[in-house]
Amino acid sequence: MFNILKGDKVLWVIIILLSIFSFLPIYSASSNLVYVIGKGTPWSHLIKHFMILSIGFILIYSMHKVPYNYFKGISILLIPITILLLIYTFSIGTTIDGTIASRWIQIPIIGLSFQTSSLAFLVLMIYAAYYLSKTYEKNKSFKSTLIPFWLPILLIISLIMPSNFSTAGLIFISVITLSFIGGYPVRYLISIFLFVFLLISFFIISVKIFPDKIPNRVDTWISRIENFSNKNDSKGNYQIERAKIAIVTGEIFGLGAGKSRMKNFLPQSSSDFIYAIIVEEFGLIGGVFIIIFYLLILFRITVISFKAKTIFSKLLVIGLGLPIIIQAFINIGVALQVFPVTGQTLPLISSGGTSAWMTCIAIGIILSVSIDNNKEEEENKNIKDNNPIKILSETV
C-alpha cells in the first residue's frame, strides 16, 4: 500500500488511524439524531460517514499526485469564482438542520448541500501562500499589496462573516499568521487588525439599526459570548454543561465504546461536541491520545515545511496545515469551556461533508509537497551511492 501512497508515510498513517477511529464515536453519537431528532438510523449515518471519508481519501490521493506548483494558477482562477459563489450563497443560501444561517447551497443534480465558506478558506490560504512567496524578497508597501492581496481576503471574510463568524475569524487569524511568517511588515498587519475591528463594529451597529435588512447571527454571537463569560448560568450554557458532564463521567478509562449517556442530551454530539463523547466513552486516556495525534500532525507539517525547497511550498504547507490544527484545538477547547461555542468541527473525526473534503484536499496538497521533498532526498542518495570513489573503494 505504501508503494501506492507517496509522500510523508507518518502523516499517511496518522490520517488513516484518525479516520478509522472516527467510526466509533460517529456511530455512537448518531443515536442523538436517530432517537431524539428522528433522523435516519445509526447505520445510515455510519454509511454516510463512510462515503464521506471514501470520497475524502480519493481527494487526498488525487491531490497528492498533482505537483504543488500547479496550485498557484488554480488559486488565481478560483478566487473570483469563490467570491461569486459566496455572493450567491449570501443572497439565496439555505439552512441545514434548522441552523439560522445561509451557509450552504444546494447542488440539484446530486441532491447534496455545499458549504462555500470551506472552499473559500482553502482557496484563500493557497492564494495567500502564492502571493507572499512571490513578494517574499521584495520591499512591500501597504499600498502595493492592498488591491492584489488584501482586497480579495477582506471581501471573502466580509461575505462569510454575517452567517459564520467563527470561520471568518479563523480565516483572518490564519492569513495574519501566514503573513507574519511570510515576512509581511508587522506595522501593516497592525493596520489591518484595526481596520477589521472597525469593520466588525460598523457591521454590528448596522445590524442593530436595521435588523431586518441584513441576514446575520449577531444575536447568537453576543449570547454565546455572554454565556461563556457567565459560566455559572447553567441554562445559557446548556451544551457546555452537558459536555462537561460527559467528560467528567468518562474519568480515566471511559465507559466503553458506544456506552455514552450524554449523547442523547447533547446537541451536535456527532459534530461540534464529539470530543466530549470521545472522552466519555474512552476516558482521559482517549482524549489525550486524540490531542497527541493532532500534535503529531503539527510535527509532521513542521518537518515537511522545513524540508521544502521553495518559499511557496513552505508557506503552502503552513497555510494549509496550521488551520487544521487550530480548528481541532478550538473544537476541543469549546468542549472544555476554554472557548465560547463556535461551531467548528473536529477535523477527520466529526460528521460533515464539505469541511471534511476541504481538509482532505489540504492534506493531499501537503503530501504533494512532501513527495517533492522526498525526490530531492532520493536524488542526493543516488548521487552519493553512485559516487565513483565510493564504488571503487567498495570494489577493492
Question: Has residue 37 got a pLDDT over 90?
Answer: no
CA 361 to chain centre: 11
- Looking at residue 389, its pLDDT comes to 55
- Looking at residue 14, its pLDDT comes to 94
By the 8 A CB rule, do 113 and 355 touch?
A: no
Question: Has residue 100 got a pLDDT over 50?
Answer: no
Question: Has residue 207 got a pLDDT over 80?
Answer: no
Q: What is the mean pLDDT of the chain?
A: 83
User: Which amino acid does the sequence have at 8?
Assistant: D
pLDDT one-digit tens code per residue, 220-241: 777 777 777 776 655 557 788 8
Cell numbers at 358, concatenated: 476541504
Mean pLDDT of 206-233: 69
Q: pLDDT band at 381, cuts 50/70/90?
A: low
Q: pLDDT band at 179, cuts 50/70/90?
A: very high
Contacts (Cβ under 8 Å, ≥6 apart) of 353: 52, 112, 113, 114, 115
Cell numbers at 242, concatenated: 452537558
For the chain, percent of residues with pLDDT exceeding 70: 84
Question: Has residue 370 got a pLDDT over 80?
Answer: yes
- Looking at residue 99, its pLDDT comes to 47
- Looking at residue 267, its pLDDT comes to 77
Closest to 168 in 3D by CA, of 227, 103, 212, 104:
103
For residue 10, count other CB atoms closer than 10 A to its CB.
15
- Looking at residue 136, its pLDDT comes to 85
| 363 or 386, higher pLDDT | 363
Cell numbers at 145, concatenated: 499589496
The three-point CA angle 8-347-47 to 5° equals: 100
- Looking at residue 236, its pLDDT comes to 56
β-sheet bridge partners, residue 107: 112
Q: Helices (DSSP H) in the chain: which residue ranges?
A: 9-29, 31, 42-64, 70-92, 116-134, 142-145, 151-160, 165-181, 186-209, 218-229, 238-250, 274-307, 311-335, 354-385, 388-395
CA 15 to chain centre: 14
- Looking at residue 67, its pLDDT comes to 93
Contacts (Cβ under 8 Å, ≥6 apart) of 227: 233, 236, 237, 240, 340, 341
- Looking at residue 112, its pLDDT comes to 62
Q: pLDDT band at 149, cuts 50/70/90?
A: very high
The 3-state DSSP class for residue 387 equals: coil
The three-point CA angle 107-112-118 to 5° equals: 85
Angstrom distance (rounded) from CA 279 to CA 243? 10
HSE (CB half, 13 Å, CA atoms) of 119? 21
Contacts (Cβ under 8 Å, ≥6 apart) of 298: 321, 322, 325
- Looking at residue 243, its pLDDT comes to 87
pLDDT one-digit tens code per residue, 296-350: 999 999 999 999 989 999 999 999 999 999 999 999 998 888 888 887 889 999 8
Helix axes 151-160, 186-209, angle to 10 degrees: 30
Strongest mean pLDDT among 82-91, 135-144, 216-225, 274-283: 274-283
